[in-house]
Every structure is written in C-alpha cells, then in structure tokens.
C-alpha cells in the first residue's frame, strides 16, 4: 500500500486488545478506511504472553486464555476489512493529527487521518522507578519480562525467585515459574493486602503455598554478576523499613510487579492533557481527549484489571472516532467529575449530562458495604466490597445526570449507614 498521502478515516495506534476493539468498532460504525499501526510482528499485543485463562468472562461469557481472546479479535478485525500495518513505529503525532511513522518497507512517512485512536497500552514500572538499593547484577527484571521469556521465548529466567509486589502479573508469574520448576521463595508486598485480583491471590499464591510477606519490602539487592540474595524487612506505620525485622533471602532472581504506567509520550507531544492520577489523557464520555479528533481507550488511558473492560472502553473510542471522521462531533462536555472520599479517580473526567454513561472508578482503600454518591445523590445499588485492584463500573443514566445541580460533581464512596 502506498501510505504517503493515503486517505484514512481512522488511524489506531497499537494493535493490542484496545486497538483491535477500537478498529473493529470504527469499521462497524461506518468508517471506510481504518488503519491500525503496530510495532510488533503480530496483532494482539501483550495477550500473546498472557497464556493463563480468565479473559473474556464478561465480554464473551467464556473463560479464555490471552491468545484465544486475541484470536477472536484478530479474526474479526480482518473480517471487517480494517488494514493493519505491522512492524511500524509511530514516532510522532502532531496536534493537527499528522502521524509520522517508520518501518523497513516504507521508510519514514506521514499520514493525516481524519481521527485517531490512541491505544498504546502501558508499560511496567522498573527498578529505576522504585529506587531499589544495592548492586546492579543481572537477574532483576519486571514480571512482564519474565512472562515473555517463559511463555514466548522458552527460557526460565531463574531458579530461586523473590517477587516484589503482588500485582496481577507478579502473582501469575509466581504460579507459572513454580509450574516450570523454579522455587518462588517469597512474594513481598508493601500494602497490608495483595495488590491484584482475589482470584489470582488464591489460585496463584495460595494454591502453590508461596510465602507471602505483607507490609514488607525489599531493602537491598546482593550480587556482582548475578543476584545472590535480597534483604526484606517489615514496614512501620509510615512505610519505613524496621531494621530489626530484616532477613536475607538467597535467590538468583528478583521480579518486580510494582505497577504499570500508561505509555503517553506520543500523546503529550500532540498537546494532549494528562490526568496526573491515571497517567492517561483527560477524556469526555466519547473518550475524546482535549485535542479534537484524538480519542483514547484501554491501558493508555488508565490501567485496567480486566481486558474485557479494555475492549468495551476502546469500542467507545472507536465509535466516536468513526463518527468524527464522518463529520459528527462528540457531545460537548459540561460536567466535570471530581474524585471525593475514598475515590482515587473516575473516568471519563468530563460528561455531557445528556447520555447514559458507564463510569469507571477506582478506590484508594478497601471498604465494605459501600454506596456511591455523586453530588450527594446515590447512584446504583449497595456494593458488598471494594478494593483498589478491582475497578468499579457504574451505570450513570441520563436521568440521574438531570438531577445534578452544578457543573462540578464530586463522587464519594461511602459506607452504607454513615
């Protein structure tokens, strides 16, 4: 295909679950020329290395593995006639929606689609992000890197493993490495509870009797060429290590599962405003950013715990991107949503007040028997329990929004009866 000057309605950056769902929806909603740009050699993104199951329980009502979930979308994407450009790296997006990209076949080229969906996903926080003390030997890697080595490339990254952080990928790798013959000596978590989903805590840590150290952290790494051991210590109320509790664990590998960061370098260069809490763009209910015609969905917008929600959210972005390409602008934002009591963030941050909207919320702390109030009005039913690792999805009807009296609405997560 001759790319330079090609007529493109919707360009999607990234062909992981978010990008595939957005591209499919954009085609279904009438965008003629949809182009999906991906730096990897295949469609599907991170799903290929997530060989465990638990995907699609909500979206398909089936328990699929990552590759199976990816396969469903890849087939559908090809059926819709969207075009995919693989092994192509987007270098820059301008505020005027001009995309500069490069690949081996076409060299450096620019395209100017009518609208863009950002679906670049997120990346893992690494050792540099958390300032771990000690030497710098081989054997300190992120859980996702270990996942790629074990599940795609066929290497075991170590024999005696300590995992810092109990994010979902960390817990899943604890199980995976155990099954592949490594000994997981400890899962160390700063918080007083495991960071990921309950099902992973039970099926990955408890099932394999992995020793879990809550309210602990790694304080030092030993080893010259290769990791030899790590120190762990309990934390006091201010999250400072308690020296007397220090113990040394011999290991050859330290895995880090310490959070994910939306990958937004392209977005900021395009003049897109980011939310300091989510690390992703500030968007309205159409998932449109502050730059008209640029939309975003999935982990580039905020880190999700379930891929099903990534797909749904990106379909919203894909739909409105298609409409925009057809000359229809999304509903104007009127009401700003603000995180209140025990709410870490809410997405979208801006709503029109006119349409039914699914809100995605995350809490700061676990809480039981909660009700969500928006501007003092209860929305939805009582929720038995909430946890920071589990995103809350809340249906907000247009009718409910009629009751809002201000154009800035605070959302609170309250214990029922308080």
Partner 1 sequence: MQENIKIICIGCPLGCEITLTIGQKGKVEDMWGNSCKEGKAYALEEYQNPARILTSTVRTKNCSRPLLPVKTTKPVLKTELMQCISALARIRVSPPIKIGEVVLDNFLETGVDVIATDNL
Contact flag: residue 179 with partner 1 (CB under 8 A): yes
Contact flag: residue 269 with partner 1 (CB under 8 A): no
Where does 31-146 show beta strands of DSSP type E? 34-37, 53-55, 64-65, 83-85, 89-93, 99-103, 107-111, 115-118, 122-124, 140-142
What is the number of alpha carbons within 13 Å of residue 371 lying toward its C-beta? 14
* CA–CA gap between residue 346 and residue 367 (Å, rounded): 17
User: Which of residues 147 and 267 has its CB atom nearest to partner 1 in the complex?
Assistant: 147
Q: For residues 57-116, which are near partner 1 according to CB under 8 A?
A: 63, 65-68, 71
Q: For residues 131-160, which are near partner 1 according to CB under 8 A?
A: 150-154
Number of residues binding to partner 1, judged by CB under 8 A: 33
**Least distance from partner 1 to the Cβ atom of residue 384, Å:** 5
User: Which of residues 149 and 229 has its CB atom nearest to partner 1 in the complex?
Assistant: 149
Judged by phi (left if over 0) then psi (alpha if -120 to 50, else beta), residue 298 lies in: left
* CA–CA gap between residue 158 and residue 20 (Å, rounded): 34
Using only the alpha carbons of the chain, give its radius of gyration: 22
CB 178 within 8 A of CB 185: no
Burial of 104 (0-12, 13-18, 19+ CB in 10 A): exposed
Q: For residues 34-63, which are near partner 1 according to CB under 8 A?
A: 48, 51-53, 63
User: Which of residues 48 and 302 has its CB atom nearest to partner 1 in the complex?
Assistant: 48
β partners of residue 413: 372
**Least distance from partner 1 to the Cβ atom of residue 148, Å:** 11
User: Which of residues 56 and 330 has its CB atom nearest to partner 1 in the complex?
Assistant: 56
Q: Which of 136, 159, 273, 368 binds partner 1 (CB under 8 A)?
A: 368
Taking residues 197 to 226 in sequence order and writing x for each that binds partner 1 by CB under 8 A, - otherwise, the string is: xxx-xxx--xx-------------------
Interface residues toward partner 1, by CB under 8 A: 48, 51-53, 63, 65-68, 71, 150-154, 179-180, 197-199, 201-203, 206-207, 366, 368, 384-387, 389-390
């Amino acid at each position: 295909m001759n790319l330079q000057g090609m007529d493109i309605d919707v360009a999607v950056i990234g062909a992981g679950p978010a990008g595939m769902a957005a591209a499919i929806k954009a085609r279904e909603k009438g965008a003629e020329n949809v182009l999906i740009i991906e730096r990897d050699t295949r469609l599907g993104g991170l799903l290929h290395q997530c060989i465990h199951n638990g995907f699609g329980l909500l979206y398909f009502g089936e328990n699929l593995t990552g590759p199976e979930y990816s396969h469903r979308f890849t087939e559908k994407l090809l059926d819709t006639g969207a075009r995919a450009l693989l092994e192509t790296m987007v270098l820059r997006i301008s505020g005027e929606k001009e995309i500069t990209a490069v690949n081996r076949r076409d060299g450096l080229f620019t395209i100017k689609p009518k609208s863009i969906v950002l679906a670049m996903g997120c990346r893992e926080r690494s050792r540099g992000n958390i300032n771990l003390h000690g030497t710098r030997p081989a054997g300190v890697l992120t859980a996702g890197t270990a996942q790629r080595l074990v599940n795609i490339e066929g290497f075991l990254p170590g024999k005696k493993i300590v995992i810092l952080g109990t994010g979902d990928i960390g817990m899943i790798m604890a199980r995976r490495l155990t099954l592949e013959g490594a000994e997981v000596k400890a899962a160390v978590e700063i918080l007083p509870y495991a960071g990921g989903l309950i099902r992973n805590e039970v099926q990955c840590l408890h099932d394999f009797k992995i020793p879990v150290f809550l309210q602990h952290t790694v304080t030092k790494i030993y080893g010259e060429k290769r990791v030899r051991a790590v120190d762990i210590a309990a934390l006091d109320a201010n999250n400072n290590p308690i020296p007397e509790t220090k113990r040394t664990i011999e290991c050859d590998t330290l895995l880090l599962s310490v959070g994910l960061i939306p990958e937004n370098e392209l977005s900021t260069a395009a003049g897109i405003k980011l939310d300091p809490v989510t690390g992703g763009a500030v968007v309205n209910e159409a998932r449109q950013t502050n730059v008209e015609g640029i939309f975003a969905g999935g982990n580039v917008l905020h880190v999700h715990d379930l891929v099903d929600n990534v797909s749904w959210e990106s379909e919203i972005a894909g739909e409105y991107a298609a409409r925009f390409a057809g000359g229809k602008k999304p509903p104007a934002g009127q009401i700003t949503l603000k995180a209140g009591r025990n709410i870490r963030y809410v997405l979208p941050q801006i709503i029109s007040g006119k349409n039914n909207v699914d809100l995605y919320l995350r809490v700061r702390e676990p809480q039981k028997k909660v009700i969500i109030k928006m501007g003092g009005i209860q929305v939805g039913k009582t929720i038995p329990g909430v946890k920071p690792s589990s995103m809350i999805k809340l249906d907000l009807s247009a009718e409910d929004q009629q009751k809002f009296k201000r154009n800035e609405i605070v959302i609170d997560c309250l214990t029922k009866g308080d």
